[in-house]
Amino acid sequence: MVSKRFHRGPLSLVFHSLLQLLLITLTRCVQSVAAQKSQRTHLIRVISRERWKPRRDSGPRRARFETHATAKTLETSCLRMISNGSFRVSRATNSAQSLRKDAPVTSEVSEERAKSKFKPGFNVKPNVSAQTLIERYKQGATHAVTLLYQLNQILPFNLELKETVTSDNIPGSYFAFCAVIDGVKYKTGMGITKKEARLKAAELALQDFLPSLESLKCSLPELSGVPPPLPVKEEVPTSDTRPFRAFCDGKNSVNQQLIHAVRDKLTKLMSSQEFSACSGTTAAFIMQTSSGFEVVALGTGDCNTKESASSSGRLVHDSHAVVTARRSLMRFLYRHLLMFYSKTTNLTKKSIFHQNSNSNLLALKSDIILHLYVNQLPKGAARMPSMLRLSPFSMHAWEVRNDMGLHLSMEGKIISVFSSRIDDSASKLISMSTTDKITQWQVLGYQGALLSHFIEPVYVQSILIGDSSCSQTRGMEIAIIQRVEDITPQLPMFFCMIRPRISLVPSVAPDIIGSSPWTCSINWSEGDCSLEVVDSLEGRTIEDSPFKSGPALASRLCKAAMLHRFRLVAKEAQRQDLLSTSSYREAKNMAKPYQEGKKKLRTYLSQCGFGSWLAKPAVSDNFSM
């Protein structure tokens, strides 16, 4: 009997202990579930209190919306944290407070905080028209960032406020933001805080963007109950994009005056009708001053020479209209440098240059602005399909590379630098496309290396495209602006990427129909008594040209002529270091900042995957006077 109790006693104790442990565990589980339920109830109440409600004060009405989706997401995330045992009620409160801090303010918050914190959601459409929103902004009742997002819900454009980099020569710590509208990057805004930088970027973007909206108020859509359209990635039909020509055309009256100036000058120069067929492809530089608009350089042409590289510098290899007009502009700049350095006070005052107090270089006078007109979309990347996007998921990689990359002009054809046909053309003279050259000029200036010894970089502020067959400028904007939009911090002093305003305008030179294409190129600059007509295929002046420099028929645009003008200016400026140069190449290489900037640009384009810039044959620059 004793033995029986001895064996049952320990088993009973063990069973009793296990039962007590089980009861304690169950009790704790019930308490934990109750606590979690209490926390969940408290969280839902906190979130419910944080939902935004319409204002009832007497101030300006603002767009309001309730963040049910955001609240639901936060609730789900918090409940997941509860189930993992790592959540506390204080964290739910902090999350709700953070949500409210970033949300549009309620009536008890000041107007200043409302302006700094309000950021409407992408799915909220204001219940007023675009004109009303713009008027409210001008009256100071709407924040700049707010207006951009509100217009984005009414007008069919893509908007992004993205952080960028500041220039190296700006002291202190600053944040930098810029607005990107339909792929076009606007001026960079900087501030000590991100909020201040974002606000400044929005204000700078509106300075350029609002005039384009107000230039044609009838294009601004009125309020409707239809939700804003989703971004379209296919190419928009031409019939839908035609009205956008006027809609995007900022400063309409200025453009009209620019067009009239080019038309009048072209009509005057082509009055003889003998060479009027050469005006099918035209480019012109227009100078805007306080007294009006004046065409200062003009060129026509559409092909390269068939000759090999010249060792004498007396052949014109590229006779495309923009290239011809740009070299005519350089002649105009040389002429005004000679006026500035002359001993005659009257001529010095008439010069477009003045001495820059911050450097030894001359600069354009403050009231002078240059514009570029072309009556055909430049060849190269500017003619890429409008459906192309910078997103890597929009098209195949090889298509993006070929369309956005650098291009070459060879035997009347435009080919990508990635083409295998380049290897078979080593003996042929080829040049970079017109689009790529404009891209370089918008970074390094239109003055070139030789003139950089005397003047600061010269840029154009707007490019007018008078191509009747062109319905959009997206390709031009991507090629000239977006490919090099972040290069400025890498450039030497005085050089920067200038973002031109690109507009579609009527053509001033009608297409020549029913006649064989001319291979002649015409050039003229302000101060010339007559036109010069160059045979583009031969690279020399034709016998019947109104202007001929001599029996050798070397054009006044050739490199040898430019070197001659360079030496004249160096003599007037008393630059003995420049007069001692032995060749055209040496004179160019002595422009150290320009050469450094050119090297940075080409390295940047190569690293970004746009291809390598074609180097010119060394023999073409190894000549002297």
Helix (H) / strand (E) element for 475: namely helix 474-480
553 within 8 A of 541, measured Cβ to Cβ:
yes
Low-confidence ranges of the chain (pLDDT < 50): 1-7, 46-123, 168-169, 215-251, 389-398, 425-426, 513-516
Report the pLDDT value the prediction gives residue 427, as an integer from 0 to 100: 52
SS3 618: helix
Return d(Cα 364, Cα 352) in angstroms, integer.
6
Beta strand 282-289 with 184-191 is unpaired
| C-alpha distances out from residue 406 to 158, 327, 409, 603, 610, Å | 26, 22, 10, 13, 6
- What does the domain layout of the chain look like in residue ranges? 130-210, 272-621
Report the pLDDT value the prediction gives residue 463, as an integer from 0 to 100: 95
Return d(Cα 165, Cα 321) in angstroms, integer.
36
Return d(Cα 503, Cα 476) in angstroms, integer.
10
On the 0-12 / 13-18 / 19+ scale of CB atoms within 10 A, 129 is middle
Report the pLDDT value the prediction gives residue 66, as an integer from 0 to 100: 39
The 10s digit of each residue's pLDDT in 335-354 is 999 999 998 889 999 999 99
Which residues make beta-bridge pairs with 101?
none
Tokens of 358: 């911050």
491-516 in b/e form (b: 16+ CB < 10 A) is beebbbbbbbbbbbbebbbeeeeeee
Report the pLDDT value the prediction gives residue 190, as an integer from 0 to 100: 85
Nearest Cα residue to 356 out of 456, 221, 255: 456
The 10s digit of each residue's pLDDT in 106-137 is 434 344 444 444 444 444 556 778 888 888 88
Q: At what angle do helices 434-444 and 321-340 cross, to 10 degrees?
A: 30
Give 190's contacts (C-beta < 8 A, 6+ positions apart). Answer: 166, 170, 174, 175, 176, 197, 200
Nearest Cα residue to 512 out of 263, 168, 174, 282: 282
Please name the residue that has the structure tokens 């704790």.
28
Q: At what angle do helices 434-444 and 592-607 cross, to 10 degrees?
A: 130
DSSP code per residue over 481-544: TGGGTT-GGGSPTT------EEEE---SS----SSPPP-EEEEEETT-SS-EEEETTTTEE-TT
HEC assignment per residue over 182-195:
CCEEEEEEEECCHH
Q: Enter the DSSP assignment of 621.
A: T
Nearest Cα residue to 74 out of 54, 92, 88, 61: 92
24-46 in b/e form (b: 16+ CB < 10 A) is eeeeeeeeeeeeeeebbeebeeb
263 within 8 A of 271, measured Cβ to Cβ:
no
DSSP code per residue over 107-174: TTS-HHHHHHH----TT---SS-HHHHHHHHHTT-S-HHHHHHHHHHHSS--EEEEEE---TTS-S--
Report the pLDDT value the prediction gives residue 441, as an integer from 0 to 100: 97
Q: 130-210 has which CATH code?
A: 3.30.160.20
